[in-house]
Copies of this chain bind each other. A is one copy, B any other.
């Protein structure tokens, strides 16, 4: 499992990585700090030497997720330099792959569902990342020469978000199976009305 992480790395990194994994699988309120530290091969005191509270650990985990997502966008640019349309199609493929990865939805969305306090520190991070992802998608659509770039980006964004919660509720054999078809169809449709 996470033994590879446990083996050789700093306790802080092991805790962060283990917490990300366990929060993803079991939810935030479904995992205690004791369970995290034990799975990370360390102990609670060490956790509290590196993170001042569980809430801060949660925030750091979400930030780590954001960083990973950012790397994904960079990979699109690296694979298809300058070709924004190709990058957009790469995003569709990547999104579809995420749907089949496991039955769990987006960590950000799940965290938002669990952390209901309006002033919880995690909510700001969640909003920031989601807005950043939206801007990335808008930039791709605009760069691909699509007229109503914002509308297409928002539509694709909602579709993907919906597909992720769909796999979490009815499973991978539900409406989410049509995601690629929907997304590609929308891109074609929006490209056809580029002058709009």
Residues of A within 8 A of B (CB): 25-27, 29-30, 103-106, 108-110, 112-114, 116, 118, 126-127, 130-131, 134, 151, 153-155, 157-166, 168-171, 174-176, 178-179, 181-182, 189
Contacts and interface: CB of A to CB of B under 8 A. Distances in A.
Given A105-B112, A126-B169, A189-B189, 20 more contacts: A27-B116, A29-B114, A103-B118, A106-B165, A113-B165, A126-B170, A130-B169, A134-B170, A155-B175, A155-B178, A157-B162, A157-B166, A158-B163, A158-B166, A160-B162, A161-B166, A162-B163, A162-B165, A164-B165, A165-B165
A23 to B, nearest CB: 10
Q: DSSP class of A's interface residues: helix, strand, loop or mixed? A: helix
